[in-house]
A and B are shown apart, each in its own frame.
Chain A
Amino acid sequence: MSFLGATFLLSEAKMEKEFLKIEKEALEAINLVADRASFNEVRNTYLSKKGVLSDLMSKMKTLSQEKRPLYGQLVNNLRSKINEALEVKNELLEAKELEEQLKKDKIDLTLPSMSKNSAGLNPFFVIKDEMEEIFISMGYEIADGPEIEEDHYNFELLNIPKDHPARDMQDSFYFSETMLLRTHTSPVQARVMQDKKGESIKIICPGKAYRRDNDDLTHSHQFAQVEGLVIDKNITLGNLKATLDLFVKKMFGEKRKTRFRASYFSFTEPSVEVDISCSECDGAGCLTCKGTGWIEILGAGMVNENVLRMNGYDPSIYQGFAFGIGIERVAMLRYGIDDIRRIYQNDIRFLEQFRAR
């Protein structure tokens, strides 16, 4: 360094000038720093034990007492200037280094995610669950009963006496003279009535049932129903109509209408067949509803007095309604499923289509 020769000879003014020169050189050097290595080099040059500032400090003792304070002040000023400049540079370098580090973390943002999707829903269960929810919201309990049933419950207690055509061996799966796979969920009616012993009843029972039908587009030897039963002192056919109308609107949409047609079931009297207005054509008539504007959806009626009596309810006090809705039938109608067998095939390509919407 050019000024190191005879500092002690310098005048004060000269001294200040020298320091300014050193400062300028240092700041220029810092300014030129572009990476961590040159940063360290510049810092060492000025601030290390053998650096410029140490060297300047060591010269102090050669000065006269009068000059020393000023000299000391000049050295300290210089040190803080350099430190400040280095600090600024350091921050710049750190920001640059972080950016480089982050760049290395760069990934393909379009690769598959770690999501774990839920499975497609089974339309059968969508309908079953939804029906349960609808009736639960109306205060219904969910009842159940055995699929392997005594003929007494499956028939007798439902006003289907021995020798009734509905009891032909060829229509049901029998295990013995008296045991069979239930042919409908209606035996649960009898079981619940006997259980509740004269209290009011408001239940549905979803469950499997079996009949000796050949499996085809619309028949299945195994199928499922939701049985409904309401018994109290003043239950009317009008209550049934309002209940089913509400159910249909929730299940098929607010615009659907229901209508009753006279029908016959052993365990209800009066009995009705319930139609809903066709959702495809809104009642105008189309292929889905065979031009009638209406689609048959379920059977229902007022609990037959014999059934009430046989199961411990006095028909002069109690009245009730009952209905049976086919789960597959509802699923097929709502989703346009053309073949009931699809529901029992468990084909993932089919199930995949039923997702939350």
Chain B
Amino acid sequence: MLVSRKLLEEFVDLSGLSEIEIANTLTFAGIEVESVTKLAYGDKLVIGEVLECSKVIGSDHLSLTKVNLGSKHGVSQIICGAPNISKGHKVIVALPSCNLPSLTIKKATIKGIESSGMICSLLELGVDHKFLSEAQVSGIEVLPSDAPIGEENVLGYLELDDTVFDVRPLPNRSDTMAVLNLAKELAALFKREYKGPKIEKNKEEVSKATVNSKTPSCPLFYIKEVYGLKTGPSPRFIQRYLMASGQRSINNIVDIGNFIMLLTGQPLHMYDIDKLSSLDFVVRDDLETKFLALDEKEYDITKGDICITVDGEIMCLGGVMGAKSCEVDETSTNIAIEAAQFSGAQIRRTSTRLNLVSEASKRFARGFSGAKTSEILQLTAMLLRKYAGVKKESETTKFDTLDHTPQVVKASDKKINSLLGTSFTSREIDEVLERLNMKIERTGKEMKVTIPHYRIDIEGAPDLAEEVIRLLGFEHIKEELPIMPTAVGGRTEVQQKTFNLRTYLRNRGLYETINYTLTDKDSLKRFDYFSKGEAYEVLNPMTPLHQYVRLSLLASLLDSALYNYSRQLNDFGLFEISEVYDKKRRNTHLAIVLVGEEHLQGALKKRAYDYYSVKGYFDAILTELGLNESRFKIVPFTKSSSELHPYRSVEILLSNERVAILGELHPKLRDKMNFKKTRVAVLEVNLSALFALKVSPIKMSEIAKYPSVSRDFALIMDKDINASDVLKTVERVNTKLISKVELFDVYIDERLGENKKSLAINVTYRASDKTLEEAEIIALDKAIVDKLKEKFKVTLRDG
């Protein structure tokens, strides 16, 4: 909201206070001042009279003038480009070195002629375009003929010597959207006196109106009739104050309505009495019809919209816009003025729906006090009498269901000080609250504070505490860390595990990413291997790209990978740990994407990322979490037909529940995504399922005392037999004596036979209680070979 300093000064003495001081104080008190601007500016101006004016030879628009600037400045020769310059005009001259909002004047030589100064338009002094006529914009300002030659206080003469504060009150301080309340606030902040406008009452006739509201959305509805008015231009001071507040002057009637809203925060609506069938106003919110508004557009009215009706016809969409049919115009002489309270929520709904947000609707939406509505109407009538020729006015007809008893808040010094961490005395507290026009009644340690009607935001002791600290200053707070019973802080087990995994993956060289939760319909289906229920769909998406809550992390992580790949990064790994939601589950997932090659020794030794790389990460994750791989079942991943390589991907099951998928990207998808020929390996794990697994506590076991025996076996078998099956089978031959089974060579050669391969394994035997004897070793060898022959039909290679 734009507020004129001069207007404020009509009600509170701000002398001796700089604009910056005022702005800072307001901002600290919670009424942010966004900007401070001069209404117009020029620091070396003088009023002059054009004595001579002739065309400059060789130019089609320049004029050479001689301007009389009075006794102090004499006569100056000035070149002027304005079309409306003429001999005898009184004009505004900016002297050399004068600073204007967008330029500094210098002596100049134009077309060989010396020019000292500039004849100005109001636009050049910084007056906003919208307040000026076309002639004022295209030409210089021509002053009245009685303008005093030589006058240096030009802005004062023009009544443009004002400063405008752009004020953004906090949402709870809508009261300060009224100049009178802002003046009260300043009075309190600077300990100055507030002087409200004097209302001169006139004789009131009996009202012809009846008013009624049939909706709780309109708890207060007042009407006052005025008769015999005449439209015309507004008095100069109202025009200037409206201009400083960013509003254009229309005519005295409209301007007075706007001026009252500016002062009091109460929007008014005016009806042309002669265009109404009666003065029986009924407020309803149950209509569904069409409505022709002042802007000559037709709007659909739906249930809930607050309608002011007369004899069944809508005459105003309450708080939003009046009807065309009873519009006040230049011919109007008798009007009914409405001042009402409307539900902020409803006004917000209606004005947003119809795209009719206005200064008035904004004020209703935020709310204000209705306690002084009668006085506001009296003030309005007074201005209309003074400046619009009103002869006769009615008493105010009221519908009012509001309780106007002032709010009383209970508090105590102790509560206020203990909330703030201060030690203000009763006197200090009372002094502040009294400055804010509150009345304090103390009984013992208790205080009852009567709140002025306009402070609709104050409900309890904490609000009073805020007022106290706001006015006395936050520097009075005693800074002290909380003293509380000692409690153990820190992460939960799951949080710590997540943290550890993130650290591990980063240390392995993978970049940690963060992707958007919301995704598009197509991406939703990609890598959706874990969802149990429907995806959450946003009812009101901003873009189809952010319409659904993602079901997997891989889809977006792959997009991040592609983003980097297409920026000439070829070898890298990314990961993300995040929650994933559908309508049936909320789980933490981890996804990894590996692109290109792993650099083992710079680019000198590289190894292409493949299935084994991501499998390696999975194994490492299990190790980090202290889980044994034997708890999981690893099976080829058959569900994906097009996203993962059919022979290089697996799913990992935990009691038949999928907890991870991993493998290489299907070459077709890889090419489609434009990873060219680069291999991409991916992994997605449901970490929540892993976190939920119980891990047995660590117990030290005896370190083996007796020597172990190491035996190698070279086995030939069918190519399709899984190495892991072979290793597991060997382990199970004698779980007591076989302590380790390791694969150390895989060899495929035609000479082994068709579809055959050779596995070389190393088996370690060890007994915990003795050194194994030759006979036992031979027996173990035989048991292993027999078992493998029986189960996999292996043959031994060269003994």
Tell me the A residues contacting B by CB distance below 8 Å: 111-114, 116-122, 124-125, 129, 132, 135-136, 138-142, 144, 146-148, 162-165, 168-170, 173-176, 179, 181, 200, 202, 208, 210, 212, 214, 221-222, 230, 232, 234-239, 241-243, 245-246, 259-264, 269-272, 302, 304-305, 319, 343-349, 351
Contacts and interface: CB of A to CB of B under 8 A. Distances in A.
Contact of B513 (A122, A164, A170, A221): A122
Contacts of B541: 173
Nearest to A351: B511
Contacts of A302: 419, 462, 465
Q: Which 3 A-B pairs have the closest CB atoms?
A: A238-B421, A112-B602, A236-B421
Given A125-B512, A347-B563, 7 more contacts: A119-B512, A141-B492, A181-B538, A200-B487, A222-B518, A346-B574, A351-B511
B735 interface: no
B490 A264 contact: no
B417 to A, nearest CB: 8
B511 A348 contact: yes
A121 B567 contact: no
A323 to B, nearest CB: 13
A175 B539 contact: yes
Given A116-B509, A347-B567, A348-B569, A270 B462 contact: yes
Contact of A173 (B352, B460, B540): B540
Nearest to B348: A165
Interface in B453-503: 460-463, 465-466, 469-470, 474, 477-492, 495, 499, 502
Interface string B170-188: 1111000000000000000
B688 interface: no
Given A173-B541, A346-B574, A221 B348 contact: no
A121 B503 CA distance: 10
A259 B603 contact: no
Nearest to B366: A165
Given A125-B502, A263-B30, A344-B516, A239 B470 contact: no
23 contacts: A112-B604, A119-B509, A119-B573, A141-B489, A142-B490, A142-B492, A147-B581, A148-B536, A148-B549, A163-B344, A163-B345, A202-B487, A210-B518, A214-B542, A237-B421, A239-B421, A262-B469, A264-B170, A269-B463, A319-B418, A345-B563, A346-B514, A346-B515
Contact of B517 (A139, A141, A222, A236): A222
B367 to A, nearest CB: 10
B171 A346 contact: no
Nearest to B511: A119
B716 interface: no
Given A319-B419, A346-B513, A346-B515, A114 B506 contact: no
B644 to A, nearest CB: 22
Contacts of B491: 132, 136, 142
Contacts of A246: 481
Nearest to B548: A175
B564 interface: yes
Given A170-B540, A221-B518, A113 B601 contact: yes
Contacts of A347: 563-564, 567
Interface string B529-540: 000000011111
A136 B480 CA distance: 18
Contacts of A125: 502, 512, 514
B91 interface: no
B572 interface: yes
B29 interface: yes
B466 A269 contact: yes
Interface-centre pick from A120, A347, A349 (highest chain B CB count, 10 A): A347
Interface in B420-471: 420-422, 460-463, 465-466, 469-470
A147 B517 contact: yes
B304 to A, nearest CB: 11
Interface of B: 27-30, 170-173, 343-345, 348, 352, 365-366, 418-422, 460-463, 465-466, 469-470, 474, 477-492, 495, 499, 502, 506-518, 536-542, 546, 549, 560, 563-564, 567, 569, 572-574, 579, 581, 586, 600-605
A260 B4 CA distance: 28
B517 A210 contact: yes
B83 to A, nearest CB: 41
Interface-centre pick from B470, B514, B517, B605 (highest chain A CB count, 10 A): B514
A236 B420 contact: yes
Contacts of B567: 347, 349
B477 to A, nearest CB: 5
A260 B480 contact: no
A262 B27 CA distance: 8
A111 B601 contact: yes
Contacts of A345: 560, 563
Contacts of A148: 536, 549, 581, 586
Given A262-B470, A346-B563, A270 B489 contact: no
Contacts of B418: 234, 236, 319
Contacts of B540: 169-170, 173-174, 212
Given A121-B506, A142-B495, A264-B170, A237 B420 contact: yes
Contact of B481 (A169, A214, A243): A243
B478 A238 contact: yes
A168 B348 contact: yes
B482 A239 contact: yes
Contacts of B490: 136, 141-142
B601 A114 contact: yes
A114 B171 CA distance: 60
B605 to A, nearest CB: 8
B482 A260 contact: no
A111 B605 CA distance: 11
Given A243-B482, A262-B28, A351-B511, A139 B489 contact: yes
Nearest to A207: B579
Contacts of A176: 539
A271 B29 CA distance: 11
A305 B563 contact: no
Interface-centre pick from B343, B366, B601 (highest chain A CB count, 10 A): B601
A286 B78 CA distance: 40
Contact of A242 (B28, B480, B564, B574): B480
Nearest to B482: A239
A122 B514 CA distance: 9
B604 A139 contact: no
B466 A262 contact: yes
B516 A237 contact: no
Contact of B419 (A142, A232, A270): A270
A337 B508 CA distance: 26
A164 B567 CA distance: 46
Contacts of B586: 146, 148
B517 A270 contact: no
Contact of A165 (B171, B477, B581): B171
Contacts of B481: 138, 239, 242-243, 246
Contacts of B469: 237, 262, 270
A175 B536 contact: yes
Given A200-B484, A214-B542, A222-B517, A118 B508 contact: yes
A344 B499 CA distance: 20
B623 to A, nearest CB: 17
Contacts of B492: 141-142
B484 A175 contact: no
A236 B477 CA distance: 9
A170 B470 CA distance: 33
A212 B511 contact: no
A257 to B, nearest CB: 11
Contact of A305 (B344, B460, B485): B460
Nearest to B422: A238
Contacts of B511: 119-120, 122, 346, 348, 351
A116 B479 contact: no
B515 A241 contact: no
Contacts of B509: 116-119
